[in-house]
Structure 1
């Protein structure tokens, strides 16, 4: 029996049939034919390429595999993505960063061929049923950024300073210091956003808003999605949550998208740290804290931070900047409407624990971002 025939038989048996018996039969066929391994891997790369055509990205695939399967499947997916990337076209810095961030390779030895074949088939079943997602590239394809001479270096320095400030805010054990560092980071984000807007306005070919997906991981995804929405709104972006696949799509201009990713990630770290401390204090007082406490804590944190970020976003700007910022806001809203012509709202759940809500609000106050200074 030829290798392609073995693979075809196995795939026909297992990939379009969800029963365990079909999976076992197909895995047995592959396990008995070591010569089929290369063809199985090649077919896997084809399945990935099809997922990319349906607008999935490496981080999206890893996220859904982690949610629906096991660690062994995550490692297999990462190996497959790395192998496929070697033959793929260039897809930009965000895509490259996702490939670089893939989980480390698993053990080289695979003594149990049947177990390995079973895991591969389970992964391929998942890849085949991935639906179409909204394309992230702007219509007409991604646009190149205008050359800005010294400005390009200034952009890198600004983002590096923002990252450094947020890293310090996450690491400090003093709430007041974390507040000051976060406030300074948001101030730099505001300045960076305006600089980007002015640079784009002067360019011969004006920039267009883009989009990225940011993971909203369990547990307490709803509160985290609310927090991400607040961060996006404060930084001239818009976010739409996809609950089944565990991410929000954020629409905005590239500099603002980077700011949203940085601030959201940092606030999550700060919230987790504050929640751990609050739980320890509750336990020291003899009161047990449960899932309801943590859920209410994060819900209150998201609500309170959102309130303060919205207040910060109301800082006045000079008259000459208003048309530039207004046109960018219209462009973002238009892109969002074209990507998501129909959206729904959802009510925030899990806020019944009064102690959790109180502690979450206090933590948000300590992580607050002070109002932006008036922009020239």
Structure 2
């Protein structure tokens, strides 16, 4: 005899003490590596029967989140995909995991912090243990299979100074008024003024960067392009990006575009795209109501054509507002920055393709969308990469 005490092991217990890691491992083997409902039910049943495994289950979820960051994902990306693929309960679970993981994560910059602050509320634990475990395993299945994404810069090269912060505040206020007004002419004037301020801010940033000892470098961010009519929305985002010295690459399967540019321009693109979507939706709803009153019922093709025309006309008008702030002596500085943006994009995406806009077949929708774009002071190069 070697003096060691023999252990009786049965159903994940050692001397009557539950092995929580064993419970979680068996649940994962049953549910995460098997896509069947039977495997999911088996895993959820194991977890529901062992409350002591809850802490280990949560820790493993935080590990999945940390792995997602290593693969290039960011908090907003994960939330966007979970909302698209699963239910709102899973979104709340994901938000709770991301918050918990952030407590033991390193600082990752201002944009990342903003995404954490924008996370939805966590779950309300009212479901029975089996239903809760099922939702957790469904979420983990998704997190386990996240593909690698192109890594983004986490920190802007320079922080905003007081003058820049005031300028951004003015731009946000103008766009908020444009979204809220019921008068197309007023929205047109406010949006055009906002683009002029964005262009002036971009020029100021370019001059500061050119004079700095360590020149600024372009970064990148992801902006969600949500269904429905996501192709037309991607064209709109591409137009806004082009008008603001950025480049956009659309990832259709994952529902976002990666925008490459300098920090001030990236912020301008995010703000303006969001505002124009709101304005386009308001205009489309109003135009569609008028069409329905006239007896038309083809709402899907009308909306697709409306948004396509809106996007198609947006870029030139935005570009005209931006060009009004550019003088001849600024052209070399802007050309240098354009070369830097193109280089960064080609390093991130060595292979891109172009796509044609589909489903644009409603002439009335196209005409109404173009009119709305004219009122919003906006047109575009409908080029997707």
Q: Please, what TM-score do these two structures have when normalized by structure 1?
A: 0.93
The CA distance in 2 between the partners of 1:369 and 1:165, in whole Å, is 15
Give the counterpart of 2:345 among 314, 336, 341. 336
The reply on whether 1:259 has 2:261 as its aligned counterpart is no
Q: Please, what TM-score do these two structures have when normalized by structure 2?
A: 0.91
Aligned to 1:68: 85
Q: Where do 5+ consecutive residues of structure 1 fail to align?
A: 371-376
User: Structure 2 vs 1, CA of residues 49 and 351 (structure 1 numbering), >3 Å: closer, same or farther?
Assistant: same
The CA distance in 2 between the partners of 1:104 and 1:121, in whole Å, is 20
Give the counterpart of 2:286 among 261, 268, 277. 277
Q: How does 1:115-134 map to 2 (within 5 A)?
A: 115-134=131-150
The CA distance in 2 between the partners of 1:323 and 1:360, in whole Å, is 36
Matched residues, number: 362
The CA distance in 1 between the partners of 2:86 and 2:21, in whole Å, is 27
The reply on whether 1:347 has 2:360 as its aligned counterpart is no
The CA distance in 1 between the partners of 2:366 and 2:156, in whole Å, is 44
Q: Where do 5+ consecutive residues of structure 2 fail to align?
A: 1-12, 14-18, 380-385
The CA distance in 2 between the partners of 1:62 and 1:177, in whole Å, is 35
SS in 1 for 2:174: helix
Q: What per-residue deviation string (whole Å, max 9, x for no partner) do you get for residues 249-293 of structure 1?
A: 000000000000011000000000000100111122233341111
Q: How does 1:222-371 map to 2 (within 5 A)?
A: 222-315=231-324, 317-369=326-378
C-alpha root-mean-square deviation of aligned residues, in Å? 1.5
The CA distance in 1 between the partners of 2:164 and 2:320, in whole Å, is 26
Asked if the contact 1:162/1:188 (under 8 Å) is kept, the reply is yes
The CA distance in 1 between the partners of 2:322 and 2:356, in whole Å, is 24
Q: What's the CA shift for 1:311?
A: 4.1
The CA distance in 1 between the partners of 2:329 and 2:234, in whole Å, is 34
The CA distance in 2 between the partners of 1:358 and 1:318, in whole Å, is 35
Q: What per-residue deviation string (whole Å, max 9, x for no partner) do you get for residues 292-334 of structure 1?
A: 1111111111101123234445547334322211111100000
The reply on whether 1:145 has 2:158 as its aligned counterpart is yes
Choose 59-68 or 306-315, whichever is displaced more: 306-315
